[in-house]
Amino acid sequence: MFRNKVIFFILFLFYSQAAFLQTNDSSILLKPDRVFDGEKMHEGWQVLIKNNLIEKVGVITKVDAGTKIIELKGCTLLPGLIEGHSHLFLHPYNETPWNDQVLKESRAERVARATVHAKNTLLAGFTTVRDLGTEGAGYDDVGLKQAIEKGIIPGPRMLVATRAIVATGSYGPKELSYDIDAPKGAAEADGMDALIKEVRTQIGKGADVIKVYADYRWGLNREAAPTFTIEELKKVVEVASSSGRMVVAHASTIEGMRRAIIAGITTIEHGDDGTPEIFKLMKEKNIALCPTLAAGDAIAQYRGWKKGTPEPETIKAKRKSFSDALHAGVTICMGGDVGVFAHGDNAREMEMMVEYGMQPIDVLRSATSVNADVFKINKTVGRISPGLFADILVVQGDPSKNIHDIRNVKLVMKNGVIYKNIF
């Protein structure tokens, strides 16, 4: 009798588990006023989600029994946004200077902070981030990415660059005595052999993308100046490309940008001193710009500038270079260099892109389909299209008319799981 009861109990657990797995095969119909599919706005469309994928898009009049229907009156549905330039292991410099974060904060503290930053980013509607360097936290971005993928913590999909690569002597921190070999915010490498080894090491440790500093503030009087030669940059691109990985370049000077462009990098980050001639070359070579407008704006304010007062020369120059890039037709990625300012405030970059001359609909494209195309993740995310992952953002209002509506987050879904729903 006891044996029969045990067998019955085991069978009950088995079939209960089977029933649970079946109920997990769920469908959700989202019914907003409009859908931005990553390229165009469509009035009256709906989106059907099945498990973790987008099943149908358009005017949907019939769904299976048991489908959960969510009415989203007055709302716009978009693909989950893609943050193109983030540093989840940094926090705003007006809280703690960059040098002190690298030198004085423990790795445990930095991972704890990054965990919070990842959650804040996701809840703001950014379901994917390209994280471009841990700034002294080694390969901890790989572990953070894995923890998110395993469902241990909530956070966005991550493309990680691990340590980034700098020329010896160029990067910081440099506030300690030169007699002290202080920790650095990136990996130092020089010459062909060292660069080959460093690129391959980072790939082996889990880097999805290689970041290199084509220039930095190591010139006379701490002015920005090129770091690597064209040949060195070409070697980085060659080695990374052989494994299918792209190379992004921190570059703000004319010469640093020129060398990176000739070397064949995929995106230029910042591009502060770009000229019409440089942007024309970028357009010809199909190289994208990630302008990080919000970072420069934040740093200017940390240094004492107040909005509404005359703009400092750095801001005026940035406005002009961004305008020149738009005029040249350069592909613009959306990426704010988040970490310089607060994670979860990523929309600040989108708002500034409009303020600096882009149309709201183009900014929405940059934060979705354009970033997906440039980062080569368009087969999985970046659009509202059948077969792609169900990474969804719903906001109150219409951000194609008023970009500030992108902050009115009502629902966030990643991989078919709803992380925020305030309806």
Q: Would 25-79+384-421 and 81-345 be classified into the same CATH topology?
A: no
Give pTM, 2 decimals.
Answer: 0.93
pLDDT at position 178 is 86
**Would you say 387 and 53 are in contact if contact means Cβ atoms under 8 Å apart?**
yes
pLDDT at position 25 is 64
Q: Which parts of the chain sit beneath pLDDT 70?
A: 1-25
What is the 8-class DSSP label of residue 88?
A: T
The domains of the chain are located at: 25-79+384-421, 81-345
**Which CATH architecture is the domain 25-79+384-421 placed in?**
Roll (2.30)
pLDDT at position 181 is 86
β-strand partners of 421: 411
- Provide the strand spans (E) within 220-351: 225-226, 247-251, 267-270, 288-290
Please state the CATH superfamily assignment of the domain spanning residues 81-345 in this structure. Metal-dependent hydrolases (3.20.20.140)
Please report, rounded to a whole number, the percentage of residues in the chain having pLDDT higher than 90: 91
Q: Which of 28, 43, 114, 117 is CA-nearest to residue 77?
A: 43
* CA pair distance 273, 44, nearest whole angstrom: 44
Sort strands 157-160 and 126-131 into parallel, antiparallel or unpaired. parallel
**Would you say 312 and 304 are in contact if contact means Cβ atoms under 8 Å apart?**
no
pLDDT at position 38 is 98
Query: What phi and psi, each to the nearest 5 degrees, are found at residue 285?
Result: -90, 0
pLDDT at position 15 is 36
* CA pair distance 37, 365, nearest whole angstrom: 9
Intra-chain end-to-end CA distance of the chain, in Å: 52
